[in-house]
A and B are shown apart, each in its own frame.
Chain A
């Protein structure tokens, strides 16, 4: 075991570096990813070490970035694309939905688009409009895409490499407000990644209720579980890690054991990941359930000005409120 203490941001950076060292076809593309290292410094130092042909500062046009990344895939490259902020992915929406997700099927399997689209997402950083969105449901809804999100430095490091190695296109959501969270990362190459890219992780095991969550809300849910424990309530916390496909067995096993489930995410609840999870859980765990599946998420309004976000985003109190309602049912 070789461990390093890394931030989540550094985990991503190190994961990118490892992937670039392992495969000369891996190229990074995006706005300001070169000298600046990206606005969040996720690609810091990589242009210096791998050159301008492998770390490409692109013109400021998201459809152009994803569209040219498709062409690079067709020529045998594995581009890792950075979308600067969640709310700036929409100009590329057409290329992602119309082309990235469908090319393999359209070509009857002849063509592959092994690209990773990195999207820093979520709120909590006091940002201006368009910089705090959680738009994962659009992509998880789309067949042909894989959608994953990390919640800690270890996953940042390993999942990034696994996503780049995937022969399918992967949307990689990075919880931007957790970029500076620190953790021990086992970087032992021979042991490899502790979990598959599309496996969920049980972060804490309990007996009374399962919190199903991902990305930035994992920390919030773990804090809630800690607080609940002080009140004698025992919570399981499942970190989905993969939003498409969902690791159904891990989620369903956890819910069956506790009989209660609350889904927590920053995204608005209407037709969000929680809706799919609630449907799945009631379908597969009907006789195990002691209460309806509840959801805690962003309200169904556009992401509000940042002075509201503390109340817009699920926090420890709102998670605990849902836990209490489920237990009281």
Chain B
């Protein structure tokens, strides 16, 4: 029919650039463990990192496993606390534990992390008490920890902003002469975290430009969990993040984000290089967001259960446990002890959350400025007087 409109309401007039395979990271992806925990043969992709993995002891493996389990349990507790009305929101890291623990464990105390808001596993590795993460999601503060205590910056909610902060911090490290000296306790680097959605932001791309130009000691760690809320990779970029690094003038590596050994090895190599003065690296951890974007999201509206099932088979904890069992690195007693410890931590943070006091109201006027600002000071006084006026009035 000639009068049929050429633009239909339910189809795009744009021809997509092509959907990405969101379950297979491809041959470039650095991987040491298959989904069952079998140690893969050395191949072209993982060979540069094999030495780092070979150097890991059974004890190291047990420590990584413990982190994975405890972090997952912290996350589950955060989710439960939200469902029970104790938190207003919780962004789950379910499925991304290995990516984060691998990265987190590659950092030294003097290294600095700049997270987004889903990096509970990195926070754990940097020693931030997990209960400290809860305040902002409970609404009692906007960031309840001193970032300089553990060199773990406050969560950044505006996507991508923190990539520039990380780069600037790394430029400061350079100016402090704390890069490339060979002193292991002095040389420092920065890890900047974002997701696949973050790679579309201007700030992300500016950060990569600035870091490249400055040869700054910063590692950009992109957790590609395949979904930016409801939008899959192919709506965020035409080629994957690790391939774009070359255009910024430094290496990009895709790593299996569900393989903690691989994530650790690639992160360690990149951080060692950064500390040594060799500049930035971009790491794309190919992983999957098993849960919703946050507790406010409903992923059944935009993705199919079969996809989640495929990724469930790639579970990072199951994989690491398989590896340890096959190699006799841990016994049942160890696994039971870790589970028991997870229960204890969950109970601890639940208690801490429930006992977290509401802030004293006038404190909302605190710390707006370092030095007193007359408007803030006057309004605080008016606020206090206003509330005092009701005292004894039966309100």
Contacts and interface: CB of A to CB of B under 8 A. Distances in A.
B197 to A, nearest CB: 16
A263 B146 CA distance: 43
Contacts of A94: 158, 161, 203
Contact of B143 (A107, A146, A166, A246): A107
Given A64-B164, A104-B368, A71 B144 contact: no
Interface string A260-289: 000000000000000000000000000000
Contacts of A77: 172, 175
Contacts of B206: 59, 61, 63-64, 67
Given A98-B161, A106-B143, A112 B172 contact: no
A109 B171 contact: no
Interface in A9-38: 27
B147 interface: yes
Contacts of B243: none
A144 B164 CA distance: 20
Interface in A188-218: none
Interface string B351-380: 000000000000000111111011110000
Contact of B141 (A104, A108, A146): A108
B165 A71 contact: yes
A324 interface: no
Interface in B1-58: none
Given A63-B202, A71-B167, A105-B142, A167 B370 contact: yes
Chain B contact-residue range equals 35 or more
Contacts of A74: 147, 153, 165, 168-169, 172
Contacts of A112: 370
A127 interface: no
- Chain B facing A: main interface SS: helix
A64 B141 contact: no
A143 interface: yes
Contact of A108 (B144, B153, B203): B144
A94 B156 CA distance: 13
Contact of B161 (A27, A95, A105): A95
Interface stretch (B207-215, B224-232, B269-277, B326-334): B207-215
A126 interface: no
A241 to B, nearest CB: 14
Contacts, number: 143
Contact of B167 (A27, A68, A146, A244): A68
A58 interface: yes
Interface in A47-105: 53, 58-59, 61, 63-64, 66-77, 91, 94-95, 98-99, 102-105
Interface string B110-147: 00001000000000000000000000000001111011
Nearest to A62: B206
Contact of B154 (A58, A67, A107, A143): A107
A59 B209 contact: yes
B164 A71 contact: yes
B147 to A, nearest CB: 7
Contact of A99 (B158, B171, B366): B158
A183 to B, nearest CB: 28
B165 A27 contact: no
A50 B254 CA distance: 41
Nearest to A75: B172
A110 interface: yes
B170 interface: yes
B180 to A, nearest CB: 14
A309 interface: no
Contacts of B142: 102, 105-106
Pairs of residues from A and B, 5 with the lowest C-beta to C-beta distance, nearest first: A71-B168, A67-B164, A75-B172, A68-B168, A64-B206
Interface of B: 114, 141-144, 146-148, 153-154, 156, 158, 161, 163-176, 202-203, 206-207, 209-210, 213, 366-371, 373-376
Given A69-B168, A168-B371, 16 more contacts: A27-B175, A64-B206, A71-B114, A72-B168, A72-B171, A74-B153, A74-B165, A75-B172, A91-B202, A105-B368, A109-B370, A111-B147, A144-B368, A146-B373, A168-B369, A245-B374
